[in-house]
Amino acid sequence: MAEPDDPVYMDGQNRQENTQICLFFRQITLRRLAIGLAADSVAALTKGPSMHISSSFDGGNIDVLSIDGGDRARLAIRRDTQADFFQWFDFRAAGLRGRDASFAIENAGNASYTKGWEDYRAVASYDLETWFRVPTDYDGQTLTIRHRPEYDIVEYAYFAPYPLLRHRAMVGAMQMRPGVRAGVVGSTVDERDLDLIETGEGPLSLWFIGRQHPGETQASWWMEGFLDRLTDPDDALARRLRGLATFHVVPHMNPDGGVRGNLRTNAAGANLNREWQSPSERNSPEVFHVRERMGATGVDFMLDVHGDEGLPYNFIAGPDGIPGFPPAMLERKEEFCAALKAANPDFQTEFGYPPAPEGKADMRICTKYVAGAFSCLAMTLEQPFKDSAITPDPIAGWSPGRCRRLGASTLDALAAVIDRLR
Ligand code: ZN
């Protein structure tokens, strides 16, 4: 069955819409010719009708409570599928060119991570390529975005969205690079493909996964930069790493949650990063299939890429608190972090999560499970939704371009430890 993000379906739908739009404009033109539209009526037409808001697209999430006075919207974020999480939003607004608009998200104070709204600014884009920050306030309950759009249609989101079409195009382009193999490791609850990209010929088995939490789109932008450099035939460092190791990369662990506009769960309401100890083929097949494949290949290193709502920093959460974990691997973690910081000043080691006390690790989490099961270096990379407070960018904040650069820099950090992973 065709899905809403299937290009064939979209082509058909677009053609139909285009025909309707052409007819609509022809009707307007005929009417203007017939009655001789007065100048002030033309002005009213160009000023446009009152605001129109929609989130009925891949990754969209917002409920419209009301639109008042034509340029003030009262909104609410929808909860995740079969779960109470919510924070991700993504909607488009039309009809506001040159007008001071406000968008009040009234249930923000009940969202999953309310610290995420402090010093936060929403992102906006006209073309879905360039994203910029817009003034946003939080009063403890309502998150209000204020903006005067320069064009007719503008999209607002929690972070730059990464639709499934872009993921499929990225996988398609990567498989055309020399020495890259692409495959499907399994199906999701909604029967979408779980794509696996592999490259390299070395004996070490290195795993990279992203987007377990679908609202953390930073992970997808990071994957673009990481894979682009990893598969670059002209990059000597990448070539050396591909000679030492085989890379297994699942760029998007949760396409169902992504399409549904969820923050944390898949289509069955499962938080995938709490499923690693005992994944269910029915409710968390994404983890079930990837874990099976990890068992077949072995794991010598694993990085799980995320975004953090609250902290305005890039940081690593490590394999701490795991009973009997080799201390040498904790030293490798320190070396990896030092090398990443040296390669990319957007990364830092001062701020992050407090380490779990010995024996207190939550073994349902991917990093903890993989580190424990394979006695290897496994880590979670967190990127901010806000800005990087140590290296701020007032226009873009933390952005797709910076995520991509951090992904590319990760190869430098890997090169610093790859000879001592076993
Ligand atoms: Zn996460």
Cα gap 10→285, rounded to integer Å? 28
Measured at the CA of 153, the angle between CA 81 and CA 87, to 5 degrees, comes to 25
Which residue in the list 155, 216, 309, 382 is annotated as catalytic?
A: 382
Cα gap 221→116, rounded to integer Å? 20
Residue 213 CA, ligand 1 centroid: distance in Å: 5
Using the Cα atoms of residue 405, residue 384, residue 340 and residue 320 in order, give the sign of their dihedral.
Answer: negative
Task: Give the neighbor-by-neighbor strand order of the sheet with 52-54.
Answer: 52-54, 90-94, 153-157, 123-125, 132-133
H or E element at residue 409: helix 400-417
Active site (annotated) includes residue 382: yes
SS3 48: coil
pLDDT tens over the chain, length 422 residues: 433 333 333 333 343 444 343 343 344 333 433 333 333 333 334 455 689 999 999 999 999 999 998 899 999 999 999 999 999 999 999 999 999 999 999 999 999 999 999 999 999 999 999 999 999 999 999 999 999 999 999 999 999 999 999 999 999 999 999 999 999 999 999 999 999 999 999 999 999 999 999 999 999 999 999 999 999 999 999 999 999 999 999 999 999 999 999 999 999 999 999 999 999 999 999 999 999 999 999 999 999 999 999 999 999 999 999 999 999 999 999 999 999 999 999 999 999 999 999 899 999 999 999 999 999 999 999 999 999 999 999 999 999 999 999 999 999 999 999 999 99
Cα gap 286→288, rounded to integer Å? 6
Residue 257 CA, ligand 1 centroid: distance in Å: 13
Residue 308 CA, ligand 1 centroid: distance in Å: 6
Task: Give the neighbor-by-neighbor strand order of the sheet with 136-138.
Answer: 63-68, 72-76, 101-105, 143-147, 136-138
SS3 291: helix
Q: The pTM is what?
A: 0.89
Residue 79 CA, ligand 1 centroid: distance in Å: 16
CB 283 within 8 A of CB 270: yes
Q: Are strands 245-250 and 193-199 parallel, antiparallel or unpaired?
A: antiparallel
